[in-house]
Each structure stands twice: as C-alpha cells, then as structure tokens.
Amino acid sequence: MTGTELFESRAFRVGAMLVLVGTALIGLIFGLAHGICFLAGGMLAALNMTMLRHSINSALSRSSNPKFRTVGAYILRLLLIPMCLYAILRLFFWGIIAAIAGFAVFGCGIFLEGVLEVFRGNSR
C-alpha cells in the first residue's frame, strides 16, 4: 500500500467511526428517525469519497477508459449529493439537518486524520 492509499483507508475508517458514534448519540437523544438520517448523511459522504477517489484515479491513469465515462462519473457524483438530500427532505423534513450533520462529520474524520498525520511526523 502506498502512503496515499494508507492515508485514504485510515481517513475512511476514522470518518466511519465518527459517523457510527454520532448515529448512536443522535438516535438516543433525538430518536431513531434522526439517527437513521444522520447515518444516511454519513453513508452519502462515504460514497462521495469513494466515487471521487475512483474518478481521480481514472482521470490520472493512462487507462483505456474513455474520458467521457470518467467525466460522466464525476458529474454523477456531484448530482448524487443534492438528489439524496432532496429525497431525505421529502421523506422526513427535520432529518435533513441530521443528514447534513452526518455528511459533515464524515468530512471532519478526513480532517482529523490529516491533523493526526501531521502530528505523527511522517514525512514523504
């Protein structure tokens, strides 16, 4: 595993752990519906990160993958976020706040892993 792949997998694990802990807390405090929306937002962020990583790897590689397919996947990733949030908004109005919080918490996990990487002193 390269340094980048190692960082990505650790950031993914940290984000997933934060989302799972947040889901349990939100579920206990505000109810099951909000907890599920929080989890849905975290899963959306994880899917977004996975699709972004795949799109970037496809765009930078010299593969036989058609470039329009790579661009299409990138645009689909950008459309996926508002479509999923809209679906949550239509199904459960107050859950949108929990879903956005779950999305943000997963992103904070990536930031947290970056900070931990700096304090570890791993230079490349």
Residue-wise pLDDT for 35-72, tens only, equals 988 998 889 888 888 888 887 777 777 556 677 777 88
pLDDT of res. 76? 84
Is the residue at 55 inside a domain? yes
Of the candidates 21, 1, 2, the one whose C-alpha atom is nearest the C-alpha of residue 112 is 21
Q: At 119, which amino acid appears?
A: F
Determine the Cα–Cα distance for residues 77 and 9; give it in Å rounded to an integer: 20
Question: Could you give the number of structural domains in the chain?
Answer: 1
Is residue 18, in this structure, part of any structural domain at all?
yes
Q: How far apart are CA 26 and CA 38, in angstroms?
A: 7
The rounded distance, in Å, linking the Cα atoms of 95 and 116 is 31
pTM of the model: 0.79
Instruction: Say if 1 falls within a structural domain.
Output: no
Residue 5 lies in a domain: no
Q: Which domain holds residue 70?
A: 14-120
